[in-house]
Amino acid sequence: MSLYPSYPPNLTAEQLSYLITSFTDYSLSHGLIVRPAPTFIPTNPSNSLATPAPVTLWPSPFPRVHFEEARSLQTFCNLLYARVASDQSWLGDLSTSLSLVDDFISKLWAIHTRLKSENGYHHKYSLGLFRSDYMVHTSESEFAPLGIRQVEFNTIASSFGALASKVSELHRYLWRSGAYPPTAEYINDLSLPRNEALERLAEGLAKAHEVYIQDVSPDAKYTLENAASVGPNSSYGIMFVIQDGERNAFDQRWLEYHLTQKYGIRVFRVTFEEIRKYTHHVRPNYELLFVPPHAFDGKKQQVYEISVVYFRAGYGPGDYPGQEEWNTRYFLEESRAIKCPTVLTQLAGSKKVQQVLAEKKNLEKFMGNERGEDGVVERIFDTFAAIYPMDESEAGLKARKLAFEEPHRFVLKPQREGGGNNIYKDKIPEFLRELDEEKWQGYILMELIRPPEVENLVMRNGEMMQGKVVGELGVYGAVIWKDAEDGEPGDIDIMYNEEAGVLLRTKGSNSEEGGVAAGFGCVDSCVLVD
Ligand code: ADP
Ligand code: MG
């Protein structure tokens, strides 16, 4: 039995052609776009060519109860990961043992230890723009949904929020305009949820900007409300750390436009290399100053104090080709600016932390006092799939056996972000055999989630593909915190904690990875099924 109604509706050739025209023009005119891959458009003069982002033609059915549950857990997940990031000794134990086998983790952790032993931290507050990713899990014997299972928790560069909001609006428009035929009566105002990921993520950044200015300059009585009415004439700004040649630039630009247009905040997009050239600290408080080369008229040079450093780069080894880049990351970490995320928050998002938290006693360590809140610990715990360490602990030895005896049930994950790093099913034994056994403990072994298949059509570079797909729901969260004074490790004061919209990513049901940027998947929206 299928979980979903027969979907999507059949169209006549005329209906399909009308739908695709409406779809494409809406995407292009609303900035639901990406820069084309050089393999698709080899020359792109002045970077002026864009193409619609890969998106499903129809919203994909998703069970309403699971959608609501995932969203309602988000502020608690925010709290959990903020607490983990603040517990230096707990995170330190994990990071130091991983450092032995994972060079990237080792270098991140070294930034923290060096800072502690040299000048210390100068920031007071941290910003998390998180995304918790889930799939609906079905049982082996029948296609009954059992609940949501967390795929991973992202603490750095959680992308696609802006495009996800726009896909929700696109699908809503296709319904309202009549481009979807009337036979699709289950697509309507009640089944298409609003998705304010763009607005809410921008609000998180803007709030952190406000928190920063109120801290460094309380006399200025800066608030977002009065700033928005004055316009962007302040000497404070937000820095987006980006990759050179980013194809998903518009997803980031939309956040910038929102910050500038709605809140009057200036945004600077800079690469690690540009940071080296155009920024410096002011001692003794390590304010981060940016001297933008475009803001010089021959006489006067504008200088901006950076309130928030928002990383859309720096999440993987590829962003650090040499020591220079690591020095730049250290330099940013040392500054007074609010980091989104700090090195510690980035480490809290490692797959290892996810695996350790999946042991109930560890989850309880951080969330035990939330027990009274509608059984939150149990509800979060219920979203965890089985995840095993690959070390020499009892659970690790069991996992090592399972990895060879029943690999088809598992995915093996290294401590990496950004897609394309995992090892699936029957490839696991061979992979492990070729890897030094000491390095196994740098991986986690995770049970495969079995999402229900639905049928949909995907538009990518103007071409239509139809087939069975599965979806992964991401829920964004925005949280601002600081360490509590005289508190225990992990005790924090929360200044802001919100659920911040959703992302549905859809991929072919027989493709293992679902990364949109990596070319396997596309952005979708939910049509909720009761
Ligand atoms: P990354 O940090 O590279 O995004 P993920 O853990 O999100 O790593 O894995 C990448 C993709 O692999 C996911 O988007 C999902 O499609 C698939 N995947 C990961 N874990 C599982 C799992 N336990 N069951 C099924 N699919 C999974
Ligand atoms: Mg992922």
340 three-class SS: strand
Annotated binding site for ATP: 152, 351, 413-422, 424, 446-449, 472, 507, 513
Gyration radius (Cα) of the chain, Å: 23
User: Span 320-339, mean pLDDT?
Assistant: 98
Structure tokens at 357: 């938290």
User: pLDDT tens, 416-439?
Assistant: 998 889 999 999 999 999 999 999
User: Span 372-397, mean pLDDT?
Assistant: 92
Q: Which long-range contacts (CB under 8 A, 24 or more apart) does 23-30 make?
A: 23/52, 23/55, 23/57, 23/170, 23/174, 23/179, 23/459, 24/52, 24/459, 24/462, 26/170, 26/173, 26/174, 27/52, 27/53, 27/55, 27/166, 27/170, 28/52, 30/166, 30/169, 30/170
User: Quick check: 142 pLDDT over 70?
Assistant: no
User: pLDDT tens, 159-170?
Assistant: 999 999 999 999
User: Quick check: 469 pLDDT over 60?
Assistant: yes
User: According to the model, what pLDDT value does residue 511 have?
Assistant: 78
Q: CA–CA separation, 5 vs 175, rounded Å?
A: 18
155, 469, 507, 513, best to mutate for ligand 1 pocket (most atoms within 8 Å of CB): 513
pLDDT band at residue 231 using 50, 70 and 90 as cut-offs: low
Which position has the higher pLDDT, 185 or 22?
Answer: 22
422, 443, 470, best to mutate for ligand 1 pocket (most atoms within 8 Å of CB): 422
User: pLDDT tens, 358-373?
Assistant: 999 999 999 987 656 6
The protein residue whose alpha carbon is closest to atom 22 in ligand 1 is 448
Please identify every residue annotated as catalytic: 131, 152, 154, 159, 351, 413, 417-418, 505
User: Span 129-141, mean pLDDT?
Assistant: 91
Helices 161-176, 13-29: inter-axial angle, 10-degree rounding: 140
Q: What Å distances lie between residue 379 and 164, 363, 495, CA to CA?
A: 26, 11, 24
The protein residue whose alpha carbon is closest to atom 11 in ligand 1 is 513
Instruction: Give yes or no for residue 397 CB within 6 A of ligand 1.
Output: no
Q: How many CB atoms lie within 10 A of CB 321?
A: 10
User: Quick check: 139 pLDDT over 90?
Assistant: no
Q: CA–CA separation, 68 vs 82, rounded Å?
A: 22
- Least confident residue range of 174-178, 487-491, 505-509: 487-491
Q: CB of 380 within 8 A of CB of 359?
A: no
Q: CA–CA separation, 2 vs 145, rounded Å?
A: 10
User: According to the model, what pLDDT value does residue 520 have?
Assistant: 59
pLDDT band at residue 1 using 50, 70 and 90 as cut-offs: very low
Residues with CB under 5 A from ligand 2 (ion): 152
pLDDT band at residue 143 using 50, 70 and 90 as cut-offs: low
pLDDT band at residue 230 using 50, 70 and 90 as cut-offs: low
User: Span 3-21, mean pLDDT?
Assistant: 90
Would you list the DSSP string of 131-178? EEEEEEEE-SSS--EEEEEEEEEE-S----HHHHHHHHHHHHHHHHTT
Atom in ligand 1 nearest the alpha carbon of residue 507: 16
Annotated binding site for Mg(2+): 152, 154, 417
Minimal CA–CA distance to 353: which of 512, 137, 155, 158?
Answer: 155
In this prediction, what percent of the chain has a pLDDT beyond 90?
Answer: 84
Which position has the higher pLDDT, 374 or 347?
Answer: 347
Q: CB of 312 within 8 A of CB of 159?
A: yes
| Mean pLDDT (the chain, rounded) | 93
Instruction: Give yes or no for residue 449 CB within 6 A of ligand 1.
Output: yes
From ligand 2's centre to the CA of 352, what distance in Å? 14
Torsion of CA 240, 246, 250, 251, to 10 degrees: -70
Structure tokens at 512: 């293992």
User: pLDDT tens, 67-87?
Assistant: 999 999 999 999 999 999 999
pLDDT band at residue 521 using 50, 70 and 90 as cut-offs: confident
User: According to the model, what pLDDT value does residue 155 have?
Assistant: 98
Instruction: Give yes or no for residue 418 CB within 6 A of ligand 1.
Output: yes
3-state secondary structure string, 429-495? HHHHHHCCHHHHHHCEEEECCCCCCEEEEEEECCEEEEEEEEEEEEEEEEEEEEECCCCCCCCEEEE
Q: CA–CA separation, 301 vs 436, rounded Å?
A: 54
